[in-house]
Amino acid sequence: MSFIPKRVLGKFMHVTDQPLKRPSGKSLVYFMGAGFCPFCAAERWAIVKALERFGKWEGIVEDKSADHDEKYLNVPTFNLARAKYASDHVEFAGKETADRNFEPLQELDDKDYEILDMYNPDQMIPFLLIDGQYMQAGAGFSPEIIQNMTHEKVKAELDNPNSTIGKAMRAEIDNITAMVCKSTGGKAGACNAESVKALVAKL
């Protein structure tokens, strides 16, 4: 790349000025993770909640990360392997390479390798790429803060404005929202929130 990556929001890097548009003309959000991975588990919350602001999910299944052999265990999350996402502005593509029991799940194809070879040749997970311009390898908040929680408890923390756990998660949700707003020209209602506008101004 002819571009020096620089950190922008949270752990996200601005890696290129060249948008990665789909044939549909929509902005691409690409995610690669694995069911056993606690950091993937954490980041999925932010991805799901941010993209809810731009479209609609179907087929999301509640899940947990591995219960052994990882730094953090039983992190509540979602399985996106069979999820479908519909939006006027955003196209979501994702691969879950294994389940929470470390068994292979989805195989990578040529389209995946095209993206990974350019942006993530070491195939680190979790990997999130927004519009070909912003990428993050890792999670925007620590899985430790939600490990062993129920999904209902995490949702309650997210909805509680005074929750430090909710605050950490909402910060990552807003970061993703801001980058999607930047890449789509701010066409969704979520882009009008003052907190999001302030983040977009930093990009």
129 falls within a domain: yes
CB 186 within 8 A of CB 178: no
DSSP 175-186: HHHHHHHHHHTS
Give the pLDDT score at 170.
Answer: 97
Domain that holds residue 69: 6-200
Q: What is the mean pLDDT of residues 169-178?
A: 97
> How many Å apart are CA 113 and CA 102, to the nearest integer?
21
Say how many domains are in the chain: 1
Asked whether residue 22 is assigned to any structural domain, the reply reads yes
**Within a domain: 1:** no
Q: With pLDDT > 90 as the criterion, what percentage of the chain qualifies?
A: 89
Predicted confidence (pLDDT) per residue in 126-150, tens digit: 999 999 999 999 999 999 999 999 9
Higher pLDDT, 4 or 67: 67
Residue 82's pLDDT is 92
Instruction: Indicate whether 128 belongs to any domain.
Output: yes
How many percent of the chain have pLDDT more than 70?
98
Report the chain's mean pLDDT, rounded to a whole number.
Answer: 94
Measured between alpha carbons, how far is residue 9 from residues 12, 54, 136, 177, 202 in Å? 5, 19, 10, 11, 8
Q: Is residue 39 part of a domain?
A: yes
- Return d(Cα 25, Cα 124) in angstroms, integer: 27
Tokens of 202: 């930093």
Question: What are the pLDDT digits (tens) for 69-79?
Answer: 999 999 999 99
Confirm whether 191 is domain-assigned: yes
Average pLDDT over residues 83-91: 95
189, part of any domain: yes
pLDDT for 1 beyond 50: no
User: pTM for the whole thing?
Assistant: 0.94
User: Does pLDDT of 3 surpass 90?
Assistant: no
